[in-house]
Chain A
Amino acid sequence: MSAPAPPRPDDRVSALSAITRPRWTAVLGVVAGIALLVLCANASRLSVATVVAGLPNIADFVGRMFPPDLSVLGTAVVLMGETLAMAVTGTVIGVVIAVPTALLASRTVFPERWLHYPVRTLVNVVRAIPELMLALLFVSAVGLGALAGTLAITIATAAGMARLFADVFESADRRAWDATAATGASRAQRITWVLLPENLPTLASYTLLVLDSNVRAASLLGLVGAGGIGIELTTRLRLFEYQQVLTIVLVVLVVVLALDRLGALIRRRLV
């Protein structure tokens, strides 16, 4: 009767289910994160009071937009067509450049460091340039107009997609690739018979998403004179023609929403 009683299973269960105290490093991390957020909010002049004080101004601004002035509808539609054309052309040519670039930049397809390393570096450098800045560069190179904007979108898409596609290729399933290598097929053959067919749905899905964001980018490039609907928007804003501005914004809204729905439909069929 002197042996200690074995611990009851209930005791073990209650001990194991006790709430563990957070480690001090975790607490410190959370505190540091909150401090950083406060600093950022301060630096970005975030002030609830200003927003509240400004509410009547915002209401006034929106109020002056109504009713929309449909006299610019024709111009807006034509310019939106140009915007769409810029986005589509830039996306297609960009992706055509991006696919081979991504293949060269991916470590699994081209393990040769002298090849993938410089390509990857170039892609990252180009990717760091904002689209609007590219548009400014091309405006000074080829002059005002849609060509400058299309070139800016092409280059931005090529770099952005090359990076994304390279990551897709690197994380792709290697088994069929290796099995095909064992049949004696060359690397180029493995790319078009295995790697691309396996990843086509993913690539197409990303391309549609980028087309979407390129339409929005193309709507803005007019700000720097690179064609599209943006130039009309800035002109009307400077002339305080808010009712015409609303018409232009609505045209952009309808096209972007329609494209978004269309993209979602196609993506669902792809995957």
Chain B
Amino acid sequence: MSATALHAADTSARLTATALSYRYPDGTQALDDVGLAVAPGEIVAVLGPSGAGKSTLMRCLAGLHSPTSGTVWHDGTDLARLRGVARRRALARCGLVFQEFELVGPATALSNVLIGRLVHQPPVVSLLHLVRRADREIAVGALLRVGLEPQLRKRADTLSGGQRQRVAIARALAQQPDVLLADEPVANLDPRTAAAVVDQVVALAREENLATVLNLHDTGLATRIADRIVGLRAGRLAFDKPVAEVDAALLAELYAGEEQ
């Protein structure tokens, strides 16, 4: 599905950011009037020099940062207005994958993935690591889908980098999200593992029809897997184009002035 096929992006989009600005408490303007719409099943790659605001955009889209101005709509819901259980349930609909995996090292792969189901558990019983059978099956299913059956009950800190990121992907899948956000998911992996992991993320996102946003620094990888490329520079939207319209000149301009 390409972006040009989505005539009215705002109505068919699952995740929409309008006039998004974010200023850190220290005064740094990380995002300035950014607009973005992602449809179900669409893969959007965000590119830009370091410090362009890619991670801040991701945190705003996920609802972890409340924008200074502007709104993030997730299926018509504004996350910044939600509190308590409603907010936690909304957060769960957004699967997140991070650069450093962010797993619980001494816990098993399965235990890490079960974390993705915690929001649906009775609050007190789940503290004792008792999780309903149906939810355990969802977690195991997610691990099987990323090909980690042999590692199911191995400690996360004994796994390789690629396996750890797959555990993190399974954790996001176990949330049964409708949006998937990945912030530099493969920056810590060697190029071959990185390509394999990104391919898996993209395949899963398409199967699940997830609105997907990936922050990447590898432009080759981004143009290979994405439907649309969003260029971010100094907190502002530089371009937002279907991948076919993104050429080397456009990318060179985006990264102009950045040191090697």
Interface residues of A (CB under 8 A from B): 175-176, 178-186, 188-189, 191-194, 197-198, 200-201
By a CB distance below 8 angstroms, the chain A residues around B119 are 183-186
Name the CB-closest residue of A to B112: A176
Main secondary structure of the interface of A (DSSP, over half): helix
Closest 7 CB pairs of A and B: A184-B119, A184-B92, A179-B102, A184-B88, A185-B118, A184-B91, A175-B102
With A197-B107, A198-B105, A198-B106 as given contacts, are A183 and B116 in contact (CB-CB < 8 Å)? Answer: yes
Asked if B103 is at the interface (CB within 8 A of a chain A CB), the reply is yes
Q: Give the distance to chain A from B74, nearest Cβ to Cβ, in Å.
A: 13
Interface residues of B in 89-106 (CB under 8 A from A): 89-92, 94, 96, 98, 100, 102-106
- Give bound CA distance, A188 to B118, whole Å: 11
By a CB distance below 8 angstroms, the chain B residues around A175 are 98, 100, 102
By a CB distance below 8 angstroms, the chain A residues around B127 are 188-189, 191-192
- Give bound CA distance, A196 to B26, whole Å: 33
With A179-B98, A182-B64 as given contacts, are A189 and B123 in contact (CB-CB < 8 Å)? Answer: yes
Q: Is the CB of B102 within 8 A of A193?
A: no
B218-253 Cβ-contact flags toward A at 8 Å (1 or 0): 000000000000000000000000000000000000
- Give bound CA distance, A201 to B103, whole Å: 16
Interface residues of B (CB under 8 A from A): 62, 64, 87-92, 94, 96, 98, 100, 102-107, 111, 114-116, 118-119, 121, 123, 126-129, 168, 171, 175
- Give bound CA distance, A184 to B177, whole Å: 12
Task: A182-B62, A183-B96, A186-B88 are known; give 13 further A-B pairs, CB within 8 A.
Answer: A176-B104, A176-B105, A179-B102, A180-B115, A182-B64, A183-B118, A184-B89, A184-B91, A184-B118, A184-B175, A186-B123, A197-B107, A200-B106
Q: Is the CB of B104 within 8 A of A197?
A: yes
Q: Is the CB of B98 within 8 A of A192?
A: no
Q: What are 9 A-B contacts defined by CB distance under 8 Å?
A: A175-B100, A179-B96, A181-B64, A182-B94, A183-B91, A183-B119, A183-B175, A184-B175, A197-B111
Q: Is the CB of A188 within 8 A of B123?
A: yes
By a CB distance below 8 angstroms, the chain B residues around A181 are 64, 91
By a CB distance below 8 angstroms, the chain B residues around A185 are 88, 115, 118-119
